[in-house]
Amino acid sequence: MLCPACGRENRDGARYCDSCGRPLKAGDRADVDVPSPLAELMTFDWTMRSLLAGIGGVVGCLVSVSLGAYGVAVLFALIAVAGWGTFLYLVRNPPASG
């Protein structure tokens, strides 16, 4: 289904646009039974983005420390904390299913 605000194609059963975050009208979305909460969670874009930020932050921090760039390591550590925190929030509070 297309978002009426930004025109981006969204997955079936989505309540909000994956691109701009605006609510989709009930008539525009198809109510689909999701087989499991994990399937709904893994299709939510921010879950994977935050997981990748957490992993990338940890790897970047380790590489920066090994090269002696401690200021950059602090930046990567903050990215890792933000990424893992967002990921854990999304795991504990999955998006409402259709």
Which residue, 87, 79, 86, is CA-closest to 57? 79
**Which CA distances in Å does 94 have to 45, 69, 76?**
12, 37, 26
Domain boundaries, the chain: 1-32, 37-92
pTM of the model: 0.45
pLDDT at 89: 80
pLDDT in tens, 27-45: 544 444 545 555 555 555 7
Instruction: For residue range 43-74, list pLDDT tens digits in order.
Output: 557 777 788 888 888 999 899 999 999 888 89
71-89 pLDDT, tens digit each? 888 988 988 888 888 887 8
Q: pLDDT by residue (tens digit) across 5-19?
A: 888 888 877 888 888
